[in-house]
């Protein structure tokens, strides 16, 4: 994963839910849990392509193994402001068994599909390593050693 920590404001809430869901299903003791869950979600989506309309975090999870994103080139466009589907679409490849489903979603819920694709893109580039604390230039003051305390407040 790369060090892209700047999730655009228009994705922040949905990204937070997607990240939490993906993280909660990543279990070192049961490594198949996530892939089984994602597979089951996609099977539900295949039967009813608009099932996750309005739930883009779930849509992103359902399609995450069925699309390929050219993140290297997608990152070259300005994503700080929400792009159009026409700007995002050229960087997406769809697995053969998902084409009909994705096409229907694209026709009826294009905004949700675009958002789901962007969630996956940022998730794939996300580095959850905490930033190191910056050294402050201020001396620490030991207030307890000073005579400024009033014991009779």
Domain positions in the chain: 9-130
Q: Where residue 148 falls among pLDDT bands split at 50, 70, 90?
A: low
d(CA 44, CA 126): 27
The total of other beta-carbon atoms located within 10 Å of residue 103's CB is 13
- Which residue has 């993280």 as its token pair? 23
Residue 3 pLDDT > 50, yes or no? no
Share of the chain above pLDDT 70, in %: 79
Whole-model pTM above 0.95? no
d(CA 11, CA 146): 49
């Amino acid at each position: 994963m790369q060090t892209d920590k700047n999730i655009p404001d228009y994705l922040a809430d949905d990204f937070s839910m997607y990240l939490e869901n993906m993280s909660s299903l990543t279990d070192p003791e049961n490594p198949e849990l996530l892939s089984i869950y994602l597979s089951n979600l996609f099977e539900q989506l295949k039967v009813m392509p608009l099932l996750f309309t309005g739930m883009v975090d779930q849509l992103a999870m359902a399609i995450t193994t069925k699309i390929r994103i050219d993140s290297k080139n997608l990152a070259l466009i300005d994503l700080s402001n929400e792009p159009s589907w026409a700007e995002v679409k050229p960087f997406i490849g769809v697995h053969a068994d998902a084409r009909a489903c994705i096409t229907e979603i694209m026709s009826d819920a294009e905004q949700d599909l675009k958002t789901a694709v962007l969630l996956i893109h940022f998730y794939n580039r996300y580095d959850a390593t905490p930033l190191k604390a910056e050294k402050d230039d201020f001396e620490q003051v030991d207030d307890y050693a000073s005579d400024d305390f009033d014991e009779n407040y």
